[in-house]
């Protein structure tokens, strides 16, 4: 009898759990499932890869945070306006001949977001991230390294953005 009661208690604890919910649950709750994004570039940023970066941002929000992308602002529960204010680089290391071998890349962004068109309360976040990339003898590889560093910085900025929204809304 005692063994059955103990098994019942263990079963109830197993089913009920300890109340843990993964962070994605709170993210969906705070972002309300559907989103619309716009991407703008400041005068000091490189807008050559704007289509790629917009697609990358949307893909990150779709896959990592399981949100739904909508094509019209009116249908979105949250509207995210991302402006890449500045992409700058600074030499970190040079070789014996004085040529730069490693750059430090800084991406500065302003992210404005609001719940929907009917709620005009706009929240603004200024985020930045640093990455490094190496310079090779081949300029194509160096350009690819720079683009990967930009992409990685934007990934980290978006993760910070979503986690800040999630924490603020818990």
Query: Quick check: is 17 in a domain?
Result: no
In angstroms, rounded to a whole number, what is the distance separating the alpha carbons of residues 127 and 85? Answer: 10
Residues contacting residue 76 through CB under 8 Å, at least 6 positions apart: 34, 35, 36, 70, 116
- The pLDDT of residue 127 is 94
Query: Quick check: is 9 in a domain?
Result: no
Per-residue pLDDT tens over the stretch 97-154: 888 899 999 999 999 988 766 666 888 999 999 999 998 877 667 888 988 998 899 8
Lowest mean pLDDT among 41-45, 70-74, 91-95, 155-159: 41-45
Both structure tokens of 137: 């003898």
Q: In the predicted model, is pLDDT for residue 30 greater than 70?
A: no
Q: How many domains does the chain have?
A: 1
Average pLDDT over residues 28-48: 75
- The pLDDT of residue 62 is 82
Both structure tokens of 9: 């208690």
Lookup result for tokens 């990685």:
152
Both structure tokens of 17: 């759990």
Burial class (CB in 10 A: 0-12, 13-18, 19+), 36: buried
Distances (CA, A) of 169 to 9, 48, 53: 34, 35, 27
pTM: predicted TM-score of the whole model, two decimal places: 0.75
The pLDDT confidence band at residue 55, using thresholds 50, 70 and 90, is: confident
> 148: domain CATH number?
3.30.160.150
- The pLDDT of residue 6 is 80
Query: Quick check: is 2 in a domain?
Result: no
Query: Quick check: is 7 in a domain?
Result: no
Query: Quick check: is 146 in a domain?
Result: yes
Average pLDDT over residues 41-52: 72
In angstroms, rounded to a whole number, what is the distance separating the alpha carbons of residues 113 and 162? Answer: 11
Domain of residue 124: give its range: 23-169
Query: Quick check: is 99 in a domain?
Result: yes
Query: Quick check: is 6 in a domain?
Result: no
3-state class (DSSP) for residue 16:
helix
- The pLDDT of residue 48 is 67
- Dihedrals phi, psi of 54, to nearest 5 degrees: -65, -45
Query: Quick check: is 71 in a domain?
Result: yes
Average pLDDT over residues 142-170: 84
């Amino acid at each position: 009898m005692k063994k059955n009661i103990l098994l019942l208690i263990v079963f109830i604890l197993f089913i009920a759990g300890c109340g843990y919910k993964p962070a994605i649950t709170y993210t969906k709750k705070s972002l309300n499932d559907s989103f619309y994004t716009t991407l703008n570039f400041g005068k000091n940023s490189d807008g050559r890869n704007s289509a790629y970066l917009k697609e990358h941002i949307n893909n990150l929000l779709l896959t990592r945070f399981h949100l739904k992308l909508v094509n019209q602002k009116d249908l979105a529960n949250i509207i995210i306006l991302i402006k890449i204010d500045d992409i700058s680089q600074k030499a970190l290391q040079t070789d014996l001949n004085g040529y730069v071998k490693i750059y430090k890349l800084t991406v500065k962004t302003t992210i404005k977001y609001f719940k929907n068109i009917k709620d005009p309360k706009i929240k603004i976040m200024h985020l930045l991230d640093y990455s490094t990339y190496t310079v090779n003898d081949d300029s194509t590889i160096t350009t690819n390294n720079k683009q990967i560093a930009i992409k990685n910085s934007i990934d980290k900025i978006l993760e910070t953005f979503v986690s800040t929204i999630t924490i603020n809304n818990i």
